[in-house]
């Protein structure tokens, strides 16, 4: 049985990856981050190591001792933790972060990928085994977007791509062709909640990939939590980029969206 490593962040992504890897008869060894990774993950992997964020460099030793040369990173590490005192507790990690040019996710995880490569371990695409979770172009819910919502989708798509190119965020909230809010470090769920307070509902959320997305560690993700936040914020439409956005728990998510009258579409971006 072939082994594969997993660096597990938060939410359901690590669980979905592990389930799909097991279907393909892989032996999954996961390194979980205390404070981020769900404890439910233990049910879906063959071996699980827990580390504090300050102990992150241990993952190199763990994978080498397990004889693993291919690793997937699935799920986020909460961005605010990059500014916490945890980082300063480990000299190796502190030195790694001090050596990079900025603290963008691509830069940080790119540096970690480089360290893995030095240790003879390849960080491979986070979409490995899960192509079926990347929707193709089309309307995913029963309700199609209205004409005005389509205008907001097209307007938001172009601007979201510009923002993503600057690595500010990957989602925007639009209402009547006005930008209500832009995603930054807080993530999409917080963007939706913030935009809901500003717009008082009936907004469209557009989420895209970066023009040079590194899918080894940074694939856009939506799921049931996303839709629940759309409901709470009284949003009316969600547009994601087709083929490039991971949609977890699709059946439950679309069922809730249909019940609440929210339109969800996967759109192509011809300029990506």
Give the whole-number percent of the chain exceeding pLDDT 70. Answer: 90
pLDDT tens, position by position, 195-242: 999 999 899 999 999 887 777 777 899 999 999 999 999 999 999 999
Strand partners, 172: 182, 206
Spatial separation of the C-alpha atoms in residues 234 and 2, rounded to whole Å:
46
Domains and CATH numbers, the chain: 3-124 (3.40.50.20), 134-267 (3.40.140.80)
Q: What is the pLDDT of residue 79?
A: 65
- The confidence band for 117, taking pLDDT boundaries of 50, 70 and 90, is confident
Q: What is the pLDDT of residue 77?
A: 77
Residue 103 has pLDDT above 80, yes or no: no
Dihedral sign, CA of 4, 9, 13, 16?
A: positive
Residue 86 has pLDDT above 70, yes or no: no
pLDDT tens, position by position, 27-62: 999 999 998 899 999 999 999 999 987 777 788 889
- The confidence band for 82, taking pLDDT boundaries of 50, 70 and 90, is low
Beta strand residue intervals within the chain, DSSP E: 3-8, 27-33, 47-51, 70-74, 122-124, 138-139, 171-175, 178-182, 204-207, 221-222, 237-241, 246-247, 263-267
Q: What is the pLDDT of residue 242?
A: 95
Q: What is the pLDDT of residue 104?
A: 65
């Amino acid at each position: 049985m072939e082994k594969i490593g997993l660096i597990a962040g938060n939410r359901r992504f690590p669980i979905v990856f592990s389930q799909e890897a097991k279907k393909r008869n892989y032996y999954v060894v996961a390194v979980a981050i205390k404070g981020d990774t769900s404890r439910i993950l233990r049910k879906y992997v063959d071996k699980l190591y827990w580390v504090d964020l300050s102990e992150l460099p241990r993952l190199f030793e763990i994978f080498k001792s397990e004889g693993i040369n291919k690793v997937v990173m699935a799920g986020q590490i909460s961005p605010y933790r990059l500014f916490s005192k945890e980082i300063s507790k480990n000299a190796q990690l502190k030195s790694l972060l001090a050596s990079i040019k900025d603290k963008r996710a691509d830069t940080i995880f790119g540096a970690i990928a480089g360290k893995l490569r030095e240790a003879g371990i390849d960080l491979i695409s986070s979409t490995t085994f899960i192509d079926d979770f990347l929707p193709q172009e089309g309307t995913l819910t029963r309700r199609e977007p209205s004409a005005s919502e389509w205008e907001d989708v097209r307007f938001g798509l172009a601007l979201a791509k510009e923002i993503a190119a600057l690595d500010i965020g990957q989602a925007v909230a639009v209402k009547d062709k006005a930008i209500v809010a832009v995603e930054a470090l807080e993530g999409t769920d917080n963007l939706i909640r913030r935009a809901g307070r500003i717009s008082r509902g009936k907004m469209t959320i557009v989420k895209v990939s970066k023009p040079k997305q590194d899918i080894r560690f940074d694939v856009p993700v939506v799921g049931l939590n996303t839709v629940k936040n759309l409901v709470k914020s009284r949003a009316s439409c969600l547009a994601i980029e087709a083929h490039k956005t991971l949609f977890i728990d699709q059946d439950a998510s679309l069922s809730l969206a249909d019940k609440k009258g929210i339109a969800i579409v996967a759109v192509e971006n011809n300029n990506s």
